[in-house]
Amino acid sequence: MTADLRIPGVTVLERGWLSSNNVVLHAKGAGLGSASARKQAMVVDTGHISHAAQTLALLEAALSGDELVGIANTHLHSDHCGGNAAVSAKFKVPIWIPPGEFDAALAWDDSGLSFADTGQLAERFLPAGRLMPGSHLPPPFDQWQIHAAPGHDPASIILFELGSRTVISADALWENGFGIVFPELNGRDAFGEVEDSLDLIERLRPTLVIPGHGSPFVDVADALARARERLRYFRREPIRHAVHAAKALLVFHLMEVGGLDRTALIHWALQTPVYQRMWALVAGGSAAGGALSASEWVGQLADALLRAGHLSLKGNASGVNVLTAS
């Protein structure tokens, strides 16, 4: 974890891959109904539920006496909104989310949210407001523009501050790529939306990008070029995208739960709806996939991750060998 202070009024709490980065915006002036004379702050994204206690401690330190008055989410994946409930309860602040996920979050509708579909963990929270693309964050943070950036998630947004030319890009752009294109795994053509979001970031001409994962970076043109090359590859080889997503979600789940034996990991994957769809894509799109059962395919993914060093095999207290994220 590092705090980035390259822009006045912004603190970046860089987290690991289980939790997204947390971006704390500091501003002067009254807003969001606060009567306090203290400087106000809003946090963008709150990390994973299993890191909630750490998020609270990091946030408390980053505030340095400022008053937290709100939470904003770029999208509602578990690594970006898992701390919402804990942060909102501690600081008694409202939660602002993209409009495309507002009704589902309000009702906590599993069919409209991604948690059940991807087998991830999240604690229920109540959203208070919508972050409407084409508008701004609420005062006193209204120097930050809200832009729709679908692709990784249909409802995802990014934030842009004109004065410093800073983009909070979430998973639309990383220094070396972008997030899994989940709508593609649902049978929807979303690679074009990824391209549109990359084009949007280029048009904004940022000089600094704060990604959802990894360190802030200034080599924006190079990052866009790498992302576009990766996108071209996935468009040519959509099965490769499904395999990449399947591996990434295996690692993420093991980070969530701490470790599982091979049988339990395969069972989890086979019971998770997104894996059923990924398996259908792989089995229907390649001769190699068609020669395997779904359980054999997941086992091969785990073996490949072990060989690459992304997973480790360790004995637990009961003498059972478990797979853990390296």
Give mean pLDDT, residues 121-148.
Answer: 97
Q: Which of 245, 241, 27 has its CA nearest to residue 140?
A: 27
Query: Which CATH number is 49's domain given?
Result: 3.60.15.10
For residue 22, the tally of other CB atoms under 10 A from its CB is: 25
Q: Give the burial string for 176-195 (b: 16+ CB within 10 Å, else e).
A: ebbbbbbbbbeeeebbebbb
Q: What is the pLDDT of residues 225-244, one digit of tens each?
A: 999 999 999 999 999 999 99
Question: Do residues 137 and 282 both lie within one domain?
Answer: no
Q: What percent of the chain has pLDDT over 90?
A: 84
Of the residues 235, 253, 288, which one is the last residue of a structural domain? 235
Contact 149, 170 (CB under 8 A): yes
The answer for residues whose C-beta is within 8 angstroms of residue 178's C-beta and 6 or more apart is: 151, 152, 171, 172, 194, 198, 227, 230, 231
Question: Range of 280's domain?
Answer: 238-325
| 304 and 278 inside one domain | yes
Q: How confident is the model at residue 263 (pLDDT cuts 50, 70, 90)?
A: very high
pLDDT digits (tens, 9 = 90+) for 7-32: 789 999 999 899 999 999 999 766 66
- Nearest in space to 27 (alpha carbons), one of 7, 52, 4: 7
**Both 135 and 73 in a single domain?**
yes
Residues 42 and 122 in one domain: yes
Residue 2: the pLDDT is 43
For the cut 60, the answer to whether the pLDDT of residue 142 exceeds it is yes
Say whether both 131 and 259 belong to one domain: no
pLDDT at res. 4:
44
pTM comes to 0.93
Residues 227 and 317 both lie in one domain? no
Q: Are residues 161 and 273 in the same domain?
A: no
Task: Identify whether the C-beta of residue 76 lies closer than 8 Å to the C-beta of residue 46.
Answer: no
